[in-house]
Structure formats: C-alpha cells, structure tokens
Amino acid sequence: MRLHPAPCDATKAAPVTPELLIPLPHRRATRRLASALGGALLPGDLLVLEGDLGAGKTFLVRGIARALGVPSKKPITSPTFGLVHEHLARIPIVHADLYRLGDAAEIVELGLVDQIGGEAVVLIEWGERFAEELGGQGLWIWLSLTGEGRVARLEARGRRGEALLERLGAHPEFERLR
C-alpha cells in the first residue's frame, strides 16, 4: 500500500483529502478489503464505488454483504435495472447502481438521500455523477483493472468519510492488505 498525501502548503491550513492505493492482485484480496469494510462501516455511512464495467464494484459489495451476515445463498447482483436493492443484515444494506439514472431529481424519488445518515449502510455503484446530491460525506473507492488484478484508490470525503477510513485502517483484515 502506498500513501498519497495531497499536495500540502504548510503555510495554509487547507484540508488534506486522505487517499490510499491498495493493490488487489486477486479476488481474495478484494474479499479481504470487503471484510474489513464490513467491520468498519457504521449505520448511516456512504460508500461510493467507481470503475469501469467489470472492475469489481458488485464483487466488493457482495463481500461486504457477506461480512455483514447476508447468507451466501442470497444472491447479491448489480441493481442496474431496479436501481436499488435492500438486504437485511447486521446493519441493513441499501445497494444502488446509478449507471442508468437520468438526472439528479430521480435520486430524490429513489429516497436514497434520506437513507444516508440513517440506519442502513448505503453502497452506491456509479455515484460520483451525483456526488453533490449524495451529500459529499463518505468513502469513495475507485477500482481499476491492472492486468489480471485490480487496484483500489480509497478517497475519504468529509468528516464521515475520514472517520470511516480511519476505522478501516485499524481493521486487522486491512492490515493484511499492506
């Protein structure tokens, strides 16, 4: 893992966005990241997943759902057409895929904004386009393909995002990814 502090001018107290790069050379590593996230997420947290088709967004959500206790016989798929799936778990899960969402007004109709900060964890594929509507407080994970493997760039936004990244960093499964 490499630390990438944003450029920092010591004369200004500008907020620094914490960012981490995590190599995920195989699916086992992604499952490990998912299990650490499952341990770190708290009710009300927002996790936004970005990356090309096949980058592993849904795979990561599936791992998080398993870590939160969704039984393995319950399929976790991309909610591309239904837009939102809900799962009962240790912490309820709201899983959305906004790829096909037309405009920001539809986000309000989906009731997603109200769920953030509520009782569930909100996991959103393709959420960056609506970052402003989503409130800008959470953890953004940018997945990219590198040969056979993947790399995850973790970007904390706002106080809630930073707190989540801190809890994640302290998780024993996360330590094993370093």
Residues forming contacts to Mg ion in the complex (CB under 5 A) are: 57-58, 78, 125
The identity of residue 78, as a single letter, is S
Residue 24 binds which entry of Mg ion, ligand ADP, none, CB below 5-8 Å type-dependent? ligand ADP
Size of the site for ligand ADP (CB under 6 A): 17
Separation CA 123–CA 116 (nearest Å) = 10
Q: What is the dihedral of CA 154, 42, 110, 101, to 10 degrees?
A: 10
Residue 151 contact among Mg ion, ligand ADP, none, beta carbon within 5 to 8 Å by kind: none
- Which of Mg ion, ligand ADP, none sits in contact with 3, Cβ below 5 to 8 A by type? none
Q: Which of 36, 34, 6, 35 is nearest to 19 (CA)?
A: 6
Contact map string, positions 87 to 126, toward ligand ADP, x by CB under 6 A: --------------------------------------x-
Evaluate whether 146 touches 19 at the Cβ level (below 8 Å).
Answer: no
> Which candidate, 112, 53, 120, places its Cα nearest to that of 84?
112
Contact residues for ligand ADP (CB under 6 A)?
24, 26-27, 29-30, 51, 53-59, 78, 125, 149-150
